[in-house]
Structure 1
């Protein structure tokens, strides 16, 4: 019973330490490292722990195989975890970067995405006349009715895919000041002309300037390529009225993009639309809208990363436990000799933990560095609805720090029980072991 309660208490302590550790910011971690260094330098127990740790690390060359199991296992966990999280972060950043506080998007009431919305001609006119809408030098409202349809295209790598064809008004360019033409020219209203995002141009075949591509049973000529650095890079753009005529959408739009006179005008604009009896619409700033669009898939990717990382982490923990128990057993007589010379259990526990954590840190650094070198900025695509969205992996310092925290957490679990066993080792029994 006493042994059961001891191990139960150890499990509770481990869970508490892990919860605190995973919530600890980097500044708190630096403070923790400083306290550990101070303890090892200023106290007798700390100096003993440092001495035993140095001896343990000095024997790693003779235990290279078992030590490599810990390092490689943890490097794999960190690599997979950070890569998946970087995918989610890159996708989220791609969608959100298209949002601004001085532009608003208007959808039909109850719609959560453009493809679920329909706005008629009278709706577009009423939105354009609402207070808070910016106007150009001639007094024309800066609004763009936009229509999104799926277009079947061919991948350069082979196979079919869906791209997003967006029909826009002339003012769409003004509403997106970060969007720049990098080749060719803009399309002309009324003609079957396309400009394509650089991501779509890179991934899909037949989208070079001057090419003719068949979309919606009509031939379209590619006249330009644009770069925006966000989800629009994955799209094909054309005149809204032309797209609506070919895809039989009448004079409708799915969304209306609005340039606000000032960011502070958003509240008045939204209130005016909510109070207009002719309209039943949803209004959000484009920053809010794209944040909502990206969050659901990013959340799924993060959840998958945590689940996969946990499963792989369990394997790494068992590997670390096995290796460290074997290391403690192999050093039993050495540890017993130290205990007989007056070394207490605390320094022995600390030394085994420090050794395991050092191996875990090395594995974490290798895994994080590998992912950063291989995947940071790597271009990929995923489905958003039924269309391909191109994005880049974003291996940020925050994600690498998350990976290192996981590595050290695995090292803590893998070293705790072998460390306690080493501290509780009977001196007389250990000295008799071969």
Structure 2
């Protein structure tokens, strides 16, 4: 019979945790208000509040064991929030890249710029499509671009320790297409010259990218003439003239993508339909904002799964710590609990009191863990590893209020699980047995 009871409690606990994970914040606030009303207005609620106050007043006497719960949960929340902040920072960097009124055209079926190839003839057709904005001279605001992966020495590494950087060959309209991109040191590259401007993120990651320095890309030497800042994924790139880079990497007149400015965001459907209806083209079209947002989805999921997996493993350890602490606390207060039961206190107030005490410790631990994660990791600069098709992407950890709230929910869930079984034991302990203990 006891086995069936424990099994039922376990199943109910699993359901409760799933619901807790999915419930929005305003529902939780409403539940807290209702619970506070029950504590204040009902007879059993007042009993639970009275027992809780007695238990909380003895925490100083159990500071060592209580600290085990607080530190364990703080560690879980801190690590969880830090790992999730890494994914959030990566996603935000890519989500900020591009806009709704600029488009990127790739060869049909290409997942990324690096895997795309557009011929010169295709580029000329794309540049004349309906919906593209034009400058004061009537020229379409477009940029035929080439993206390749290049190797550069990593800053702070061994002399032969190299990383992959994304090298972008840009056309005449590249600067007008990205008004957020500003030169912060030096100048822009000159067309037809082996000159480079580097993003501030790339400059932090790789050695020798200061203006005036020469760097070797492949078999050729290039001069760094400027540094730019954009606040998005472009910060991790190195730019040069598209014709020069295409020649250096033997790409001829082809390009990997065409980036174009639309007359406005509403012109996207017109532009896409014009390209889809041209039999000379087999291309995919998307807004630059949507393109870069899609690039973040896979990596963000991996980072989130990694964070939740590590957090779950640590949470299991914290739950056992809470169980041990609260079982010991219940055993130490067995006679006190039995006395309360003997003078008329029901089992529900006792259960609620033990649960509230555990969740208070969990709340303190969650707050400490969240604050530490914010102080240490918010704004922390990191970069992804290079792959065969893309270079390293520099980004900053982003500890948002939603992540702190998620960490706090985890802390309270751990406290709930860690306090439930000791609370049930306290409520079910026979009064006569408890009075004989100690």
TM-score bucket (shorter structure): over 0.9
Which of 154, 173, 181 is the equivalent residue of 1:179? 181
Q: How does 1:317-356 map to 2 (within 5 A)?
A: 317-356=319-358
Q: How does 1:7-406 map to 2 (within 5 A)?
A: 7-158=6-157, 159-386=161-388, 387-406=391-410
- Counterparts of 1:407-418 in structure 2, within 5 Å, are 407-418=411-422
CA-to-partner distance for each residue in 1:191-232, whole Å, 9 max, x for gaps?
Answer: 011111011112211111111111121111111110000111
Give 1:65 deviation, angstroms: 1.4
* TM-score of the two chains, using structure 1 as the length reference: 0.98
Structure 1 distance, partners of 2:370, 2:87, is 16
Instruction: Tell me how far apart the structure 2 counterparts of residues 164 and 328 of structure 1 sit (CA, whole Å).
Output: 60
Residue 413 of structure 1: CA displacement? 0.5
Q: CA deviation at 1:5?
A: 2.0
> How far has the Cα of 1:287 moved from its partner?
1.3
SS at match of 1:116: coil
Structure 1: any 5+ residue segments left out of the alignment?
Answer: none
Distance 1:314 1:406 in 2: 11
The answer (yes or no) to whether the contact 2:164–2:386 under 8 Å persists in 1 is no
Q: What CA distance in whole angstroms lies between the structure 1 residues aligned with 2:178 and 2:41?
A: 61
Alpha-carbon distance in 2 for matches of 1:202, 1:428: 70
Residue 425 of structure 1 is aligned with which of 420, 423, 429?
A: 429
Question: CA offset at residue 384 of structure 1?
Answer: 5.0
Q: Is the 8 A contact 2:163 2:386 kept in 1?
A: no
CA distance in 1, matches of 2:371, 2:221: 47
**Partner Cα separation in structure 2 for residue 299 and residue 22 of structure 1:** 17
1:60-85 CA-to-partner distances (Å, cap 9, x unmatched) read 11211111111111111111111110
CA distance in 2 between partners of 1:22 and 1:44 (Å): 31
Note the alpha carbon deviations across 1:24-52, whole angstroms, 9 max, x for none.
Answer: 22211211111111111111111111111
Deviates more, 1:377-386 or 1:241-250: 377-386
Distance of 1:383 and 1:166 partners within structure 2: 18
Measured in 1, the distance between the counterparts of 2:385 and 2:99 equals: 23
Q: Structure 2 CA distance, aligned partners of 1:383 and 1:266? A: 34
Q: Distance in 1 between matches of 2:242 and 2:121?
A: 16
Runs of 4+ in 1 over 4 A off after TM superposition: none
SS in 2 for 1:146: strand
Deviations 1:370-416 (A, max 9, x none): 01000001111112534211000000000000000000001111111
Give the SS at the match of 2:392: strand
Q: Secondary structure at the match of 1:328?
A: helix
Question: Which secondary structure state, in structure 1, belongs to the residue aligned with residue 155 of structure 2?
Answer: coil
Separation (CA, whole Å) in 1 of partners of 2:277 and 2:218 = 38
Instruction: State the alpha-carbon separation in 2 of the partners of residues 82 and 419 from structure 1.
Output: 29
Q: What RMSD in Å do the two structures reach over aligned CA positions?
A: 0.9
In 1, distance between residues paired with 2:313 and 2:280?
54
Q: Measure the CA separation in 1 of the matches of 2:355 and 2:423.
A: 6
372-381 vs 21-30, greater mean Cα deviation: 21-30
Give the Cα–Cα distance (whole angstroms) in 1 for the partners of residues 19 and 345 of structure 2: 29
Quick check: 4-13 or 319-328, which moved more? Answer: 4-13
User: TM-score w.r.t. structure 2 length?
Assistant: 0.97
Partners of 1:352 and 1:138 in 2: how far apart? Answer: 77
- The superposition leaves residues 218-258 of structure 1 with CA deviations (integer Å, 9 ceiling, x where unpaired) of 11111111000011101100000000001100011111111
Q: Give the Cα–Cα distance (whole angstroms) in 1 for the partners of residues 121 and 167 of structure 2.
A: 24
Equivalences, count: 433
